[in-house]
Amino acid sequence: MEIWINPACSKCRSAISLLDAEGADYTVRRYLEDVPTEDEIRDALDRLGLEPWDITRTQEADAKELGLKEWPRDDSSRARWIKALAEHPKLIQRPIITADDGTAVVGRTDEAVRDALSR
* Residues labelled catalytic: 9
Q: What are the residues facing 105 on neighbouring strands?
A: 97
Helix (H, G, I), strand (E, B) or coil at 93: coil
**Among 79, 96, 75, 84, which residue's Cα sits nearest to residue 4?**
96
Count other C-beta atoms under 10 Å from residue 16's C-beta.
19
39: Cα within 13 Å, side-chain hemisphere: 0
